[in-house]
Amino acid sequence: GEYTTAMTESLRKLLSDPSVIKIGVGVLGDVKDLNEDYDGVCGDGKSYLDLSVLIKKRWPHLRRPGLRNVTATLLGLQLRKGKEQVSNWEMRRMTKRMEEYAAAD
């Protein structure tokens, strides 16, 4: 793939480090996109655990096992995905709200 935006070296190291397990809901789609956009930065994806697979098996009644629904159903919390979701993620410095959203997502 072609680099669409700059990626910091520390983030590149984290994403490509097979000894660091990265966990998320629907993360394998993100791995695919990142590999396409950033020349295979995530490698073979074996160090990524996609919880949506486990969630579908354990709670098959969840029709859409995205992070928002899982958070609401299992934890009783509401994940806010507001304007931060569509913010300018290419900015050199993220706002505090963008950092909080990124950490939650």
Residue ranges covered by each domain of the chain: 8-65, 66-105
- Long-range contact set of residues 24-31: C-beta below 8 Å, sequence gap at least 24: 24/48, 24/49, 24/50, 24/51, 24/67, 25/50, 25/51, 25/52, 25/55, 25/65, 25/66, 25/67, 25/70, 26/50, 26/52, 26/65, 26/66, 26/67, 27/51
pTM beyond cutoff 0.75? no
**How sure is the predictor about 6, in pLDDT bands with cuts at 50, 70 and 90?**
confident
- Kindly state the tokens that stand for 44: 């073979």
Question: 30-60 pLDDT, tens per residue?
Answer: 999 999 988 999 999 999 999 888 888 888 8
- Kindly state the tokens that stand for 35: 């590999």
Task: Identify the helix (H) or strand (E) that includes residue 22.
Answer: strand 22-24
**How sure is the predictor about 71, in pLDDT bands with cuts at 50, 70 and 90?**
confident
